[in-house]
Chain A
Amino acid sequence: MSSSTAVKLASKKNARRELESVVVRFAGDSGDGMQLTGGQFTLATALAGHDLATYADFPAEIRAPKGTSFGVSAFQINFGSHIASTSGDEVDVLVAMNPAALMVELKNLRSGGVVIVDTGSFSERNLLKAGYENDPLADDTLDQYQPIKFDISKLTLQAVKKSGLSKKEAVRCKNMWTLGLVYWMFGRDRQPTIDWLRQKFAAQPQLEEANVAALNAGHALGETAEMSEGFTAYTVQPADVQPGLYRTVTGSEALAWGLMTGAELAGLSFELGSYPITPASTILHILADLKEYGIVTYQAEDEIAAVCFAIGASYAGSMGVTVSSGPGMALKSEAIGLAISAELPLVIVNVQRAGPSTGMPTKTEQSDLYQAVFGRNADSPLAVISARSASDCFEVAIEAIRIATRFMTPVILLADGYIANAAEPWRIPDVDKMPRFPVEFRTDAENFTSFMRDEATLARPWVKPGTPGLEHRIGGLEKDDSGNISYNPANHQRMTEVRAAKIAGIADDVPPQTMAKGKDSGRLAVVGWGSTYGPINHAVSHLRADGLDVSHIHLRYIWPLPRNLGDLLAGFERVLVPEMNNGQLLTLLRSQYLVAAEGLNKVSGQPFKITEIEAAIRERLEIRK
């Protein structure tokens, strides 16, 4: 039903219509529970066997003034047979819980799409607050769409009457009523949500009964209203995916679990230092609740203390990790320099958000690449890797710990607000079968110096304080191989070169760059990194199906870049680099390979649409249709 997979609506009433994929967007006040509603719909959709991708688009205000356009919180889900990490360009079904949600979100609905509105919330006052001069339900605003109008507020109140809740509490169940209706539309099983409600409200039986009653009532209405004109149920094709055990996972969950798993595979205890910051705090919350696995989480007094805590932990022989976002990363940069100079393993996760300064904390961007690669005083190289989707975060987190411990270096892992909050189905790996990379701490005092180096990796030995005979001092002052302070000019030259060579050498330890789609040479390569993976991959797939000579390269390793990337790029006539920034990977590629790459840049706080990338590719390949 999205633009690329449009299916003609069947004319026959009462039959479920078959679709390949659908985009549903729930929108309401930030206090309406839209994120929870979307989360439940995601779970039910995953259990029905669909591939899916979600997008949480919410304001920074916790409870913005009711009914205002800036308080609209939205949750989007794209599901069907083949989604590949894209939350969808155009919305097929929009749920608008109030006039403000309709005002803000209607532009996302495709022409002919379904819009479900709660007529009970369309009071004159709410219309005014949303900026409507006339009632959009009465004029021509919805003419090009299929509106489904119910007084959801009133129907919810009727449904939960028996619970004895106050009117204010009762009407808050309308998100569950609406979810029930949407469940019916797509033939979803209500049971997992009923189980969840029973668990969530176990201590408040009134709320439990009311929410379940609302869910069931919304569903029941769908069944009876089916008879009426223009209101139809759909069947969406399930995904054809690899067999295995699945769950849904968000980027934040995958990062948290990946970091824990990485530490386990390295044979290390795990210590997280973090200071609350949107959108990275979720990782702290998840890990703080997993103490039973022996991990230590520490909410530091500031961003600097958070990274210093992690450095202290690594110095003492644990895996020190810190998570933050752009502004916090700026505060951490001096301490990261210390970890570079002292050559200690450290993983720093940056869940990027829109900037500069405080910017738009809840909106996504990938504009911290310069900061990650270059953003420190002096020549201070470290490794930078990036995650392309929610589920990819798991593998990338493990890889970050592997590189940090093998090369005794800080590693910056770039995720972003979009993938941190996005959910996907995930084929659960068997940790017991994953390759281990146990750390060997130095215990032998024979010929030991603290900055002697491994010939292959150039890494210095990692010694746990407490090891007899290996007492030594390290720090941020320049040192020589003995570890002692040195102001010798030639030594500083050499140490600077060695630090650079160590990081450059990581490129020999990681897989060569492969193609995400298409041939390894041709007319146009689209090169991306991070969360633009989904839209780029779809766009390239569609245009290749149309016969265009275009390929997709998606980078996990940002610094050092893969050894073969220069040769790969040289095989293409043109290179296009879509990024949610003003051209940062673009600068890197141009500087490293002297390639005439072009940027496609979007910094609206919203992910790319497939069609935007398609249009840019068509323009480059001069296709006129």
Chain B
Amino acid sequence: MNSPKPVEKLSPKDFASDQEVRWCPGCGDYAILKAMQRMLAEIGAKKENTVFISGIGCASRFPYYMDTYGFHTIHGRGPAIATGVKLANPDLDVWVVTGDGDALSIGGNHLLHVLRRNVNVQILLLNNEIYALTKGQYSPTSRIGTRTPSTPMGSLETPLAAAKFALGSGARFVARTVETQQTHLLDMLRRAHRHGGASFLEIYQNCLVYSDGVFANFTAKEVAGDKQLLVEHGKPLVFGKDRKRGLRMKPGTLELEAVAIGKDGVGEADLLVHDETNLGLAMMLASMDRQTMPVALGVLYCDPAPCYESRIVAQVEEAKSRSTNGDLNSLLRRGHTWIVKDKQAKTDA
């Protein structure tokens, strides 16, 4: 295996394990793996302090390809296992890599609770809107009408918006990006990593085999400019190839409206300015209909709060400082005890 390297700064390659990557050729996961290795090298992460935890699915093979600590666990349970790791050793830098089926179907409960507890882990949800590893069944994020082997006449279920789920669960950091936009992806990985507490990053990821082109209506080069809204804290919500469109509150309502700047008397000053700490705005951005509105990418919400493990540690420390009890022997002797002397002479101790 690998011996410790004397060099201070690691290269992206140092984060690649010796295992052959077994995703399909052209899979979007490759780009995410590369971005991760690059980002960890850039921020000077330590391999030994980095842990990747995953469940089951294509995305969950991720840990095998990283030369860090890694635990490929069982379907949907990555967040629960990551919580155990973080509480046992809060110093570890823990990433959970999951997919739309793993995180939102079988593991929906664990995702909800890791977010609401605000455990200091980074959760990457590689969303391809399909169950790929089990050969192409519809997933909780598949659109209505998706034809798959298990829905030959089309899926009937309302798809789940992952970012809305995360916000509704009480996540303090929710961001979205696209696997093909390396610069943005790297930036989002950095932001997710920097955030103290649970950070949730949804990465739209194309599956060439089972859901090819499912995100094309906002990721294809020809439309990306018009269909993507790259949000930035403190900046107006502007989009469009010529940056001539934007979002405002539709007058007299509590809903967002896409408007053309300079038309119908709308000026840039009428547009909403992005505020990462505004939960209501984040929810509205996460809820925009992909067909009629742009897709908001970037950090939709970031409002840090103390993380779970630090608060647990604080409780333990408080209990220790208040305690007048000593070791285990004193615990076992707490309360009523009595001494049995030889031959039945008994004393209340």
Q: Which residues of chain A have a CB within 8 Å of any CB of chain B?
A: 43, 46-49, 192, 238, 240-248, 257, 260-261, 264, 269, 271, 273, 290-296, 298, 300-302, 304-305, 308-318, 320, 334-335, 337-338, 342, 427-432, 445, 448-449, 464-477, 484-485
Contact = CB atoms under 8 A, between A and B. Distances in A.
Given A338-B73, A475-B63, 13 more contacts: A49-B344, A243-B341, A245-B338, A246-B339, A248-B336, A273-B84, A291-B318, A301-B112, A313-B87, A318-B88, A320-B88, A465-B49, A475-B64
Which residue, of A317, A320, A468, has the highest number of chain B Cβ atoms within 10 A?
A468
A429 B46 CA distance: 45
Given A305-B109, A431-B332, A466 B74 contact: no
> Which 5 pairs, one residue from A and one from B, show the smallest C-beta to C-beta distance?
A312-B84, A475-B72, A292-B323, A308-B80, A316-B88
A244 B2 contact: no
A273 B312 CA distance: 14
Given A316-B84, A449-B1, A465 B336 contact: no
Contact of A309 (B49, B84, B337, B339): B84
Contacts of A474: 70-72
Contacts of A257: 328, 331-332
A471 B339 contact: no
B233 interface: no
B17 interface: yes
A428 B329 CA distance: 9
A246 B338 contact: yes
Given A298-B83, A302-B109, A473 B71 contact: yes
A448 B88 contact: no
Contacts of B191: none
B289 interface: no
* Interface bin, chain B: 35 or more
A465 B89 contact: yes
Contact of B73 (A445, A449, A472, A476): A476
Given A246-B337, A432-B329, A475-B63, A305 B72 contact: no
A242 B342 CA distance: 8
Interface string B145-186: 000000000000000000000000000000000000000000
B340 A49 contact: yes
* Residue from A48, A320, A342, A475 having most chain B Cβ neighbours under 10 A: A475
A241 B1 CA distance: 58
A469 B64 contact: no
B337 A471 contact: no
A107 B152 CA distance: 64
Contacts of A192: 336
A122 B12 CA distance: 82
Contacts of A428: 332-333, 337
7 contacts: A243-B340, A264-B328, A271-B84, A273-B84, A300-B80, A337-B74, A475-B64
A316 B92 contact: yes
Nearest to B76: A304
A292 B332 contact: no
Contacts of B64: 473, 475, 485
Given A246-B339, A477-B72, A467 B333 contact: no
Contacts of B221: none
B315 interface: yes
